[in-house]
Structure 1
Amino acid sequence: MGVVNGTAQAPVERVPKQDRSRATRQRLLEAAVACLAERGWAGSTVSVVAEHAGVSRGAAQHHFPTREDLFTAAVEYVAEERSTALRALFPEGATDRRAVVAALVDLYTGPLFRAALHLWVAASNEAQLRTRVTELEGRVGRETHRIAVELLNADETRPGVRETVQGFLDMSRGLGLANLLTDDTPRRTGVVTQWSHILDTALGP
């Protein structure tokens, strides 16, 4: 504790530079996800994201030199958040298959999926972005499938089981798309119930 003009001053708490840098990067990624979900690709420039994150454009470009770098990192962040959220729902393992089906479907109906979707659309028209997003989504898809198999207690050595799980995930993505324009909750609830029955039949107890 120092003394200034006879008055005791509390020591200034300094945040290590590395921690500040990590916090800035995190704010930029969260802001990029929010901007993609709210404004789409066309409205999500580096400047807009930087302003949303409360940092300068220069600081944003220090962490992510190009727009593609920023939004590819943002979708990777989205994927990690989705996986973390799913695992957190069943920390002790899953026993209720319908609850697992509902949780997996929910992954495709929130802002994280909406943000990823905007990037997919942009990647379909941007050759430089397409390669990076395709590679990333391949990895995300394999991870999501692996988690689904584990939570659904599916034995993929049995004929047709792998295709059934993949079909369920494809259906979940379709429900996410349907939910973009209107609240599709009532119909989605019925579909979740029916797919739970289908999976019980296909996967066994």
Structure 2
Amino acid sequence: MPTASTRVPQQERSRATQARLLEATVDCLVEYGWSGTTTTVVAARAGVSRGAQLHHYPTKAALVTAAVAHLADRRAAELRTEAEALPAGPQRLDRVVDLLGVAFTGPLFVAALELWVAARTDAELRRALVPLEARVGREMHRLTVALLGVDERRPGVREAVQATLDLLRGLGVANLLNDDSARRTALLHTWKRQLAALLTPDAGPAERAMPAGAGLERDRQ
């Protein structure tokens, strides 16, 4: 029977195995797409046995949704950390939008898009993905509100934040097949100006100069 001293290393090894599987899954989705990401391929890439993979994630749907959830949580934490170094004042909005834009062009977005398309015709995947997508969407919205330091109780603010996320998602899709950076830059430049007006139409200088991270602190409370 395992003792207390042996259970901890076993738990650590189990967590390490899961982490390798989740990272390998995202890598495979980006490199091979949904159809090429088999559980056998993932296990081989992660360097774990098929038995270990099946023990932690018995189905492909369970594996890929867990991988996207894992990466989404990690990326949200990274965004919070990166945002702490952003300047206060008018420049903050521009930098926040740029940070979010990177999130909609990175590996997480590509992997998630593979799942969205596959879930249209895969009932098992759709059942697993719909609640995950709803959770990730809510958390991304709350994170954006916090990073911008805006008050969603004000009319129009919630819609402006969601429009920003929808725009970035669409631009991310447009960027998948070819380099769309020139059009993307021009569109975001215009949207940043419009967003600033939508979020702070009656704000004075003191409100516009909200300290960097103020929204983050409120969101943590």
- Normalising by the residue count of structure 2, what TM-score does the alignment of the two structures yield? 0.82
- Say which of 166, 172, 178 aligns to 1:170: 166
Comparing both chains, which one has the higher relative contact order based on Cα–Cα distances under 8 Å and sequence gaps of 6 or more? 2
- Cα deviation, 1:63-106, whole Å, max 9, x if unaligned, reads 11111110110111121122112112112666211000111111
- Say which of 184, 187, 191 aligns to 1:191: 187
Q: How much has 1:186 moved relative to structure 2?
A: 2.0
Q: What's 1:135 paired with?
A: 131
AA aligned opposite 1:122: A
Q: Is 2:49 aligned against 1:56? A: yes
AA aligned opposite 1:90: A
Identity of aligned residues (%): 54
Q: What's 1:37 paired with?
A: 30
- Normalising by the residue count of structure 1, what TM-score does the alignment of the two structures yield? 0.89
Structure 1 runs of 4+ with >6 Å offset: none
SS in 1 for 2:48: coil
Ranges in structure 1 where 5+ consecutive residues have no aligned partner = 1-14
| 1:47-86 equivalence runs, <5 A | 47-86=40-79
Q: How much has 1:194 moved relative to structure 2?
A: 1.4
Q: Is 2:23 aligned against 1:27? A: no
Q: How much has 1:159 moved relative to structure 2?
A: 1.5
Aligned residue-pair number: 191
Ranges in structure 2 where 5+ consecutive residues have no aligned partner = 1-7, 201-207, 209-221
Q: What's 2:152 paired with?
A: 156
- C-alpha distance in 1, partners of 2:182/2:106? 16
Cα RMSD after superposing both structures: 1.4
Structure exhibiting the larger radius of gyration computed from Cα positions:
1
Would you say the 8 A contact 1:50–1:56 is kept in 2?
yes
